[in-house]
Each structure stands twice: as C-alpha cells, then as structure tokens.
Amino acid sequence: MVEIWTNSAGLPSAVARRAEAAERAGYDGVTTVDSQNLSGDCYIGLALAATGTSRIKLGTGVTNTFTRHPAVTACAIATVHAVSEGRAFLGIGRGDSALAHLGFSPTPPKRFEDYLTRLQGYLRGEEVPFEAAGNVDALRLANQPTASRIEWLRPGRYPKVPVDVAATGPKVIAAAARHADSITFAVGADPRRIRWGIETARQARAAAGLEEEMPFGAYVNVVVHDDPEVGRRLGEGGVSLFARFSAMHGAAVGPTTDEEKRVMEGIHDAYDMTRHSRAGSPQAGVISSEFAREFGIFGNPAYCIERLQELLALGLQRLVVVGSSAGADAAEAARAEQRFVEEVLPALH
C-alpha cells in the first residue's frame, strides 16, 4: 500500500492542528521536525497530535543521533506510540540544523550506525550494553544495573516502533539498509537518483546477508501551480534544504547531471543556516529552472500526478510531500496545498 505523508513544524499546538487537518484531508501520515532551536519539542507535538487524531501515523521528520541518548529517543517515541495506540514512526538522520545551531556538523556515518544499533535494541525491549565510557562503578553501589533497558516498555501490546532513516549518501544508505526498518531517500524527485538509492540499499543488504526486501520511500518537493515558475518560487526553500544534503560537504554525491552538480555545490557554497529552508534565501537564489524541473515537481495537477506515479512505479511505498516554504506567499501557498489535497492526493491512493 502506498502512503502519502505531509510535514509540520512549530509549537506543539500547531503540530497538533496540522495533524488533525492532514487526517481530514486524507494523508496517511504527518512528520514534524526535531530542531530544538527552530521549532517546539517534536515529541510533545506528536503526543498532542495523537490525542486529536485517530488514524493518521505520527513521526519525527527527522530526529538525530546527537541531541538525545538512544534510550531517551526510544523512550520518547515509545511514549507517543502508547498514547497514539500504535501510530508512532521514528524518522532519523545524521542531523543538520539541530546540530548546526549547537556548533556541530552531522554525525559521522560509523557513529550513526552504532547509534541505530543501540536504538533498535531499546525499541525491541532488549538489554543494551553500557557504553565503554560509563563510570557508574565510581558510586560503589550495593547493587547496580549491568546493562540498560527501558523497563516500562513491554513488547507485544503494539508492534515495535518502525525506525526509518532519512538517507542521501551511500554510507548512510548502507547503514540504514543493515539496521533500519525502512529508508526514505532525500535525493530529490529524479527517478535516476531514486533508482540509485534503491540499488545501493539492496546491495548493502545482500552483502550483509539480509534477503528480505525492505520498504523504501522518498522526500519530494511538490507544489501544485499552473505556472511552474510560480510553483518553484513557492517551494524553493525546501528544494535548497534537500538539495544541500547531496553536497553536504561540498561535493555532489549520487548520479548527477552537470546542472544538478553545479546547483547542488552552489547551494552548499551559498548556504545561510540562519535562513534555513526559507524562500528568498541566498541558497534558494542558486536554484535554476532546469534544476527545479529535475529535483522537484512543480506544475499543474496532471503533471504532478504523472511525476509522482513515475516514482511510485519504482517500488516506493511512502512519499513525504514537502510543499511551499516558510517565507513564501501565504495565500498562494494555501491555494497550492488545497489543490494538492483535492486534485492530486486522490489519484495517488
């Protein structure tokens, strides 16, 4: 079954209202950002959303491996899972704005993979070995834990919380293929790049002796507008955000055309983190019309349906639709969102 998700951000009350509206509109899930300096707490927002909805899935989009210990992350999302009666979903990545606003770069791939391993252990209700740096022995207790476990988590009442990795580069895709429950590619809407991501993941699973197929999804920038150029301007902040992931350290990764490479690396060089994901930012100004046509989906409803169905035909089971950007014309953005809900979403289910 194909799932179409939307996203949210802001204070928990805004996340809750967005989730309620998304459920009424027919979306299958809603994510909320985890960027502590830019948005309210994601887990409080998801818990509030759980109380006002009954069907829609609720996930982080995405959390990271730096700002919370894996036991804390597991506890938080398992709490949302309990409150929502099994509707929680944990999206995780190496970290971007959350870390940048603390003065750090994204988590290295090896450390990211180690975190995934520990996180999955906690969510399965297992005992997780203490980290080597632990020093609880210094307390000289009469008795003490010898490993870590979320004691209140009792597997079986609900299915385990799915862990989904937002992945762009080959190392993170491979780590996700070995340890996650699913992967949502953040490589744009170009079918060549999606195919590359899927093949990279499948090769990593085969090398690890994992035969079962895993679910794949994609983050896609989509704005419905009869004038593609207007649509591009409405969504340019989100395009700059996701395109930068493909050139996080300056060099483009994955299969790229000359124009894609030029723009991705130009976005990297121009990126102003104080205007992260916003329309009208310096990085958004680097985006060309040609690049937008390849990396995102901007056009009338029929065009958007055709492009999205082309991606689903690759075997994707989940699309997280990222629409108009912060700072874009609010009235135009609202009309574009409504047209997606009324004229595109029904054709995808």
CA dihedral sign, ordered 211, 213, 219, 222:
positive
For the chain, the domains span 3-132+149-219+302-348
Element (H, E) at 230: helix 228-245
- How sure is the predictor about 154, in pLDDT bands with cuts at 50, 70 and 90? confident
Cα diameter, the chain: 71
**Does residue 35 have a pLDDT over 80?**
yes
Mean pLDDT of 48-56: 98
**Burial profile 16-25: b = 16 or more Cβ within 10 angstroms, e = fewer:** bbbbbbbbeb
Alpha-carbon span 231 to 94, nearest angstrom? 29
Element (H, E) at 319: strand 318-322
Element (H, E) at 222: strand 216-224
Task: Specify the CATH number of the domain 3-132+149-219+302-348.
Answer: 3.20.20.30
pLDDT score, position 66: 98
pLDDT score, position 156: 82
Mean pLDDT is lowest, of 4-8, 74-78, 133-137, for 133-137
Across the chain, mean pLDDT equals 97
Q: pLDDT of 167-219, one tens digit each?
A: 999 999 999 999 999 999 999 999 999 999 999 999 999 999 999 999 999 99
Mean pLDDT of 220-225: 98
pLDDT score, position 133: 87
Question: Count of residues for the chain?
Answer: 349
CA separation (Å) from 165 to 186, 202, 300?
10, 15, 31
Q: What does the block give as tokens for 230?
A: 């207007």
Alpha-carbon span 108 to 118, nearest angstrom? 16
Alpha-carbon span 197 to 177, nearest angstrom? 10
pLDDT score, position 92: 98
Mean pLDDT of 257-283: 97
Alpha-carbon span 339 to 234, nearest angstrom? 14
- How sure is the predictor about 23, in pLDDT bands with cuts at 50, 70 and 90? very high
Q: pLDDT of 81-103, one tens digit each?
A: 999 999 999 999 999 999 999 99
Q: What does the block give as tokens for 44?
A: 């409080």
pTM of the entire predicted model: 0.97
Question: Are 223 and 324 spatial neighbours (Cβ–Cβ below 8 Å)?
Answer: yes
Alpha-carbon span 134 to 236, nearest angstrom? 45
Question: Are 198 and 254 spatial neighbours (Cβ–Cβ below 8 Å)?
Answer: no
* Long-range contacts, stretch 248-254, CB < 8 angstroms, 24+ apart: 248/106, 248/168, 248/169, 253/168, 253/169, 253/170, 254/168, 254/169, 254/170, 254/187, 254/193, 254/196, 254/197
**Does residue 155 have a pLDDT over 80?**
no
Element (H, E) at 270: helix 258-270
pLDDT score, position 251: 97
DSSP sequence for 21-80: HHHHHT-SEEEE---TTTS--HHHHHHHHHHT-SSSEEEES-EESSSS-HHHHHHHHHHH
DSSP 223: E
**Does residue 157 have a pLDDT over 90?**
no
Report CA 205 to chain centroid distance, whole Å.
21
Q: What does the block give as tokens for 104?
A: 């750090």
